[in-house]
Amino acid sequence: MIEFCEIIRDVSKYTENQVDGRYCGNASARGYSQDMLITRSNTSKNTLQPNDFVVSTSSLASTDSNIHKKIYDEFPNINYIIHGHAYLSMKMGTSMGDIELVQITKRKYKCGSSKVVKEIKKISKYTVNSGVSSFFMINIKKHGFIIGANNVEFLKLIFDREVVTFSEIK
């Protein structure tokens, strides 16, 4: 959990924002307790520590707990989720130019709406799902990004090597 917190703190440099005095975004993990752990509502990700996570049924849990739970139900290989309010980009160079690998939802979804999970599942067919690494990276239209990964090592790899870039939501 300490490594996961370090990754979130690093990512928060690009994605941490406050709206009306509240911190936006959240992260969750499973496999550390019987229930999914998720960041407390209104927690700064710049200083995130393991004790900033609570069980998803806690009254202190992020309002997106239901979305994270549904994602874990739909993607049994995913163990970590990060959500932030910026857009992700990951490009692959080809002889015909760069190809954007991060898909975006067709619809805009309200914060906390679990309807986004159905579209994430549909879009994620283009992401890796092998025995070694399972992950998805998706932008939610006019909202932000969501990343799901089966291990911390994968998250470290993409963020340490700066494989992804962040931009403001348009």
Residue 89: φ, ψ to 5°: -140, 135
Secondary structure class of 146 (helix, strand, coil) = strand
State pLDDT tens for residues 73-99: 988 889 999 998 888 888 888 888 888
Secondary structure class of 78 (helix, strand, coil) = coil
Which of 170, 154, 163, 155 is CA-nearest to residue 104?
Answer: 170
For the entire predicted model, the pTM comes to 0.90
CB–CB of 36/68 below 8 Å? yes
Q: Give the position of tokens 């309002």.
A: 63
Structural domains in the chain, sorted by start: 2-167 (3.40.225.10)
Q: How far apart are CA 169 and CA 167, in angstroms?
A: 7
State pLDDT tens for residues 4-50: 999 999 888 877 766 666 678 899 999 888 889 999 998 999 999 99
Our measurement of the distance from residue 18's CA atom to the centroid of its chain's CA atoms, rounded to an integer in Å, reads: 17
